[in-house]
Every structure is written in structure tokens, then in C-alpha cells.
Structure 1
């Protein structure tokens, strides 16, 4: 039985204990190399973890879970799903993978993955050898035999069967352990991504200039109070901190932002969606988020395998789960509206006050499924759409190519957009655009079948000269409009000396022609 957990982060090494079952021990004389094949190195860092603490009604905590916390959460439990990880590529490119893990500050243990993979291959060979021997014994028994010879073959077949059953069980457990460790390895990284922490990120583009005010500016909290747009106090009594009521024109402004964003993006060939807001935890995991563990942004529903979504990226990513698309169907481009739920605990402070960081918010998300050779160009298309949207609102912002240390596990490359928020006195992130290549599709099981050459048809059974091997699609996601951050930007940037706020021209048709929010 595999029993393990990882305690804390930052330790360089991790290992696994695979205990030999009694049936394997009984077969040790038959298989002299078996114990050497199965025993894995042991580290004091590994202990048994057979059960997890009982979850709360909505089990949640602070920040994005680390790979180590993911492993603690699933310790002693077989994976509920398996990613199509290219272990051979990882082994053959171990130096590149090791450098990538280091650059991205990941706690993934490459040495352990390679060790487990080697042991898996050895054990697999042993299983295949036993199966061949068992088949050979079965073939010998088909002929006419002396009773003593037949009895000897029966005994030999029985011993082989016992050994094979035990080995197959341990092969499954070893495969599970290999999956758990390998799933912590982050995606590869685009060669142009700057190496380092967030401070190493590079500005790609600067749009507009900060507005110069001839009066003392207010932040969005004060503006919301003066204009009767928010109620944080009542929401705190009803729901807790970091929730809010929108009131009066703020409601119209949210709806205007959502409708405007969906209409503008739909014009560019994106299919509009409204997504489920509760999804299976396995789908959350396959998209690269950790729904369990001490530090997670995900609200998990007690006594259920379901979670509240933190972004529409998750349900949209799963819309083609376990399917094979036709190349002619690509790209598939979606623009999705949803409410999003994030724990965001531990993020209190002046920099995140008010609506900048909340537990529940509305968002419009873009998502693309495409061929691998097209993902870089669609990444540029997504960031161009974001820049066009924010420019049309009259915002001053900058686009950044985020450094390796700021990339989440799924992202191959990520562009962030940070807008100037005069009331907060700083730039704040309002959107991001990520190319996840095949990281998510290998977990979600989304492939496409290439179009055969002209004059050749695909075989109905997927075989033959006209049937090219299926390939994993690439996935990309980008924010068209995260409503609370946009409200912060609009209120703070377009405030007037008399306390009113001017509505950007592009939003006025969606607000019944209202052009100014005035004091009551």
C-alpha cells in the first residue's frame, strides 16, 4: 500500500514508500529481483496520511495552493483521473525540465518523478515477463501430459498467478504515485518569457497617460459612499467581510460592462456562453487549480465532489472534455459570463481594500481551443482584444510580459494588463491573457484529428492511410472584463470635482443613455 504525505514546503527532496504485500513476499523466491524492483527510497519527510480533516460547509482558505499542499491533500488517495503526461519527453529532457522548475519556483520533485518512472518501467517489464511465463505454462497444459507433469504445471501456474496479481496491484499503486508527483510539474515556458520574480516582468506596451486632476481625488470607496453605489457594511452582516451590495447606478454600470464586453468580443467570432458556476473538483484540478489543501482559492462544497468556480475558464475549459474534435472545427472561441468565487483570505490591507479584492464577482472571460501551431498567434489576438477594449474605455494602462516566477502551473506565457487607479495611487491588475498550450488539454482529454491530405479520407475506425494520429489542442484564456476592478478604474479615473462620475461614451447605450452619475 502506498502511504505518504509531504509536510511543509521548501524541502528539496521527497520520496515514496511502497510496502510489499504478503503475497509478493511469498513469491520472492520465484522472483529474486522483485524486492529490489519495488522498494523505493524512504525519506523522513514522508509519513502516513490516511484521512483528511473534515471540511467545512464551504471548505476554503487563502492563496493559490502549492504543489506540496496538493500532495498533502491527496496523500494516501489514488488519483481520480490521470493526465496524459509525456514521461518519456520529461526523462529525455530532464535538464530543460529541471531549469524550468527552478525558474518558476515550483516545488515539483523531478528526481522523484524520474525515479518513479524508472521503477514503473522495470515493474511493468516484470509484469509482462510473468504474463508471458503464465501463458507459456497454459500452452504446455493443452497437450497430453503425465499426471505428475500436469500437477507440476498446475502448481507453477498457481504461483505465477499469485505473483502476477500482487505485482499488478503494486503497478497500479506505483502508477498512481507517479501521476501525483508528475502532475506537480508546471507547463514548459515560452523562450521569450523573462526569468525571475514579478519585478522582472517586462512592459510590452504603455497606453495613454495618467489623468491630471485639479482637485483632491477620492478612492472608489469614498465615491461609492458619496454616490450611494455600494453597501459593504450590510453585506458584512449578511455574508461576511469582502462582500458587497451594488446599488443604484452601480448596478446599471455592471450590467453595461458585461453586455458591452460580450457584444464587442462576440463581433470577433467568439460564441457567447453563460456557464455553470458549480463544477466537479476533478475539472478544477484538470484546469490546473487545487481545490483541496490548506491554501486554496477554491470554495469546496462539503460532502460533495463539487466546487464553486473561481473563473469561467474552468467550465469553459471542460466543455469539450474527453472528446476528439475535427481540425476543421478549430479554432473554437468562446466568450463566457459567470459569477466567480474566491476565498482571497489573507489578502487584507490598504492595497486591496474595497472592491479590488472580493469573494464574489462577475467576469467576462475569453477562451480559445486551437491547433498547437496557432496558439502563439491567438495569444497575441487575445491581448490585442483586451487592449482595444480598455483603450475604448479611455483608461491608462500598461501590458506586461510576466516573468517565470509569476506564472501559474498551466501557463506557458502570460500577459497582464495593469490600469492606473488614481484613488489607490497605483497600477492594479485588471486582466490577464494566458497561453496554456497542451497543459490543460492533456488533463481534460481534448484532442483533434488532423484533416487528411486532399483526396484522402479518414477511416471510419480511425485507422489506415487517411487517419493521422490525434493531437492535443492548445487552450488559451483571457479576461475581457473583471467587473469590480473595472468599477474601481471607471469611478476613480472619471470622477469630477463636483463629486460626479462621467460614464465612458461606449457604455452609455447600455445604460439607457445615462452619461453622468451625480450626487443624490
Structure 2
């Protein structure tokens, strides 16, 4: 959640942020009103409790005649304190409820608009001209089936649409990608983590995934657990309710986990192959930093993503995501989009988000700098979302005979293999 003091001091900035997101601006005034009730009811409660304590000291010293009057007043004060406590609690709950609906403040440099209003910041690599090479590129599914790497038919038979099996070299390619990504992250100073895939409601709520993104979250109602859509969730909650020493920051973790997404609202989109699926594995970078270092850390995460995609020898572009396409917790997000030859366009492979203190406030993760205790900043960045990365590798590195060249960075993790070759049927 945002800093309520900032809300009180500069409500116009918060209104502008809501407007840029395409969200409800009236929520700002409702929250201001609730916050005022919360503070005034707190003052009222404190005044009554102070009066009650003072009265409690007078009663033992009072004469019998005075005591009866004081006891009568004490009884009334007791009822008033109880009523004030209830009013304070109601106002506090209403403030929390409204604050939880408010997205993070959009960074002033973020382009305003919807999904298509992003700004391209950089372009890397060279898009292959398959026509000049004398053949028409195959899509990743055709290639994957010929390689014995992808089986969507049996995935659908067993689990339904948007499920798949990675088989043979497909499974080996995933393991190579994960190991290479973890190796890069470890070399950069990240602590490798294997994280839970099931989390309690507070972890999911605290990271901002039960607001606008709730429709894409799997909920196990019987046990009240959520399946994570990214290891960002358990990594953000790892230090929940803790105070971290400022001199120990930054703390950087690289989480590997299965991820689950309902993909609600995407009917008819990317139905072929494994680009958009319900279950996949991912390596995610996550950073806890001092607030003043958040923007620099955001750029570092992006640099590590660019290093990864460059190592995979993929053509890609970096975009500054528009305000209306930001998740609730992000103040700014950069996406790296790889070129997908058979689609003739760039598609998202990685993203890096600066959440400032938004998640830290909700999860009560703070830092101690001397005597000062305050929320810190959290950031996250995808290093390798496996299926999409496989899609990009197969399509960009395919050869005329249906084999696929293995990028050099992955060869040590595939036993030195330079080519993935079609299997005999």
C-alpha cells in the first residue's frame, strides 16, 4: 500500500496516478475520509482512556458521598471507551480495506496509456531473414514435435487445454535453461532459492495479486491456500514481519518455482503451443533494497535480463510499460520482448518491476538504519520463464533441416551438444 502520509500531503499526485492507471479516482477521496475518521477516532479513544485512568486514581481517595458519583461517572466512561474503541477499529478496518484497493504510485516517467502505449527504449540483436536463407521458418510447436521435445496432445488429454509435456531434449533444454539462469544469478550475487508453490492469503494479498490480478490466481478453497503465479510471492513474503539491518542490504534472491496462472480473459489468444500456459517453471530475481537505491536496482535487474537474453543470442527489444498495463504493485516496469519469427513480432519474455515500498508496507518488511525504522523497497525481475524462452530459442535458432542450434551459453548444460536434431518416427 502507499504511504498514507503522502496521500494526506499530496492527494492530487495520488489522483493523477489512479487516473493514469485507468482506475477509480474517487477511491482517493474515500480513503482520505476514512483515514481522517481513523485518526480522529484514535484521538477520541486516547482522550477517554486518559480520563478513565485519571478517574480511577480519584475513586480510592474520595469520600463515600463522592465515590458514588465517581463510580457512576466511571460506568459511563467505560461505555464511552468501549464505543470509541469500536469506532476506532471500524475506521481502521475501513482505511485498510480502501488502501488495499489503491495501486502503487505510478513513476512520473512512465508513459501514460494502455497496453499498446509502451515506449521502446532499446533494440538488440539482428532479426534473421529466413527468405534470404532459402526456407520458411517453422513455428515452435512443429519444431518441438519433430525434435521429440513438446507434447501438447497428451498434455491436453491428461490436464486440458494449455497444458503440455516437455519430453526428451525438451526436458533437457528446460533443465539447461534453469541451471544456466541460476548460475548467472549466483555469479551476480543472488542467493538461489527453491520456494513454496502454495502460500497463505496474506502472502498473496501482501504482494498485490488479489486485486486486479485475482482472476488469474488459483485458490484452493478447502485449505485456503493460493498457488503462486511467480516465486515473487514467496520471495516477497520471506522476510514478512521482520526488521532488516540497513547495512545488510541489498538482499538478493533468485527463486526457482513452478508457476500457475488461470489465464482468464485470454480465450483464443496464443492457443497453439506453449507460449501461454497454465503451468510453467520460472527463475525469478528478487531484491530488498533501501528506498533511495530502488531506481538503480531496477536498472541492474534490467541489465541482468539483457545479459541473459544476449547470451541466448536472441533478438529483443526493451520497453517501458505504459501506466494502464502496470500491475497494482509496480510503480514502473520494463519488459524485454524477444522476436518470434513465425508471429512476426516481439513478445514478452522477461519483466523487471520496481515496487518501491508498496509490498513492504503490506507485508511489514522494514529496515533499521540507526534508530530509524522504515519500510524498504522491493523489486522483482524475471530471468527465465521457461516455456516462452524455449519458444524463442526454437524459432530463432532453427535450421533448414528442422534441427535447432544450441546457443553457446547452454552447451555446457547439455553435455556439449551443439544441435537439437529431429527424432526418427
Which range, TM-score by smaller chain? Answer: over 0.9
Instruction: Give the secondary-structure state (helix, strand or coil) at the position aligned to 1:414.
Output: strand
RMSD: 1.7
Distance 1:120 1:471 in 2: 21
Provide the residue aligned with 2:318 in structure 1: 399
Distance 1:488 1:116 in 2: 49
Distance 1:144 1:138 in 2: 11
Tell me the matched-pair count: 419
- 395, 398, 411: which is aligned to 1:495? 398
Provide the residue aligned with 1:99 in structure 2: 16
- Tell me by how many angstroms 1:271 deviates: 1.0
Distance 1:289 1:405 in 2: 16
- Tell me by how many angstroms 1:507 deviates: 0.8
For structure 1, the residue ranges without an aligned partner over 5 or more in a row are: 1-82, 451-466
1:413 paired with 2:332, answer yes
Cα deviation digits, residues 421-459 of structure 1 (max 9, x gap) = 012222110000011111111111111222xxxxxxxxx
- Tell me by how many angstroms 1:270 deviates: 1.0
Larger helix proportion of the pair: 2
Instruction: Give the secondary-structure state (helix, strand or coil) at the position aligned to 1:365.
Output: strand
Question: Does the Cα contact within 8 Å between 1:351 and 1:424 map onto a contact in 2?
Answer: no
- Tell me by how many angstroms 1:515 deviates: 1.6
What are the residue-to-residue correspondences of 1:200-349 with 2, within 5 Å? Answer: 200-213=117-130, 214-290=134-210, 295-349=214-268
What are the residue-to-residue correspondences of 1:109-508 with 2, within 5 Å? Answer: 109-147=27-65, 149-213=66-130, 214-290=134-210, 295-450=214-369, 467-508=370-411
- Tell me by how many angstroms 1:233 deviates: 1.6
1:511 paired with 2:423, answer no
Question: Does the Cα contact within 8 Å between 2:270 and 2:276 map onto a contact in 1?
Answer: no
- Length-normalised TM-score, structure 2: 0.95
Cα deviation digits, residues 308-346 of structure 1 (max 9, x gap) = 111011111111111111122111111111111111133
Instruction: Give the secondary-structure state (helix, strand or coil) at the position aligned to 2:257.
Output: strand
Provide the residue aligned with 1:10 in structure 2: none
Distance 2:145 2:6 in 1: 57
Distance 1:494 1:376 in 2: 34
- Tell me by how many angstroms 1:352 deviates: 4.8
Distance 1:490 1:86 in 2: 43
- Tell me by how many angstroms 1:134 deviates: 2.2
Question: Does the Cα contact within 8 Å between 2:242 and 2:366 map onto a contact in 1?
Answer: yes
Distance 1:346 1:94 in 2: 33
Provide the residue aligned with 1:46 in structure 2: none
- Tell me by how many angstroms 1:211 deviates: 0.7
Question: Does the Cα contact within 8 Å between 2:215 and 2:264 map onto a contact in 1?
Answer: no
- Tell me by how many angstroms 1:243 deviates: 0.6
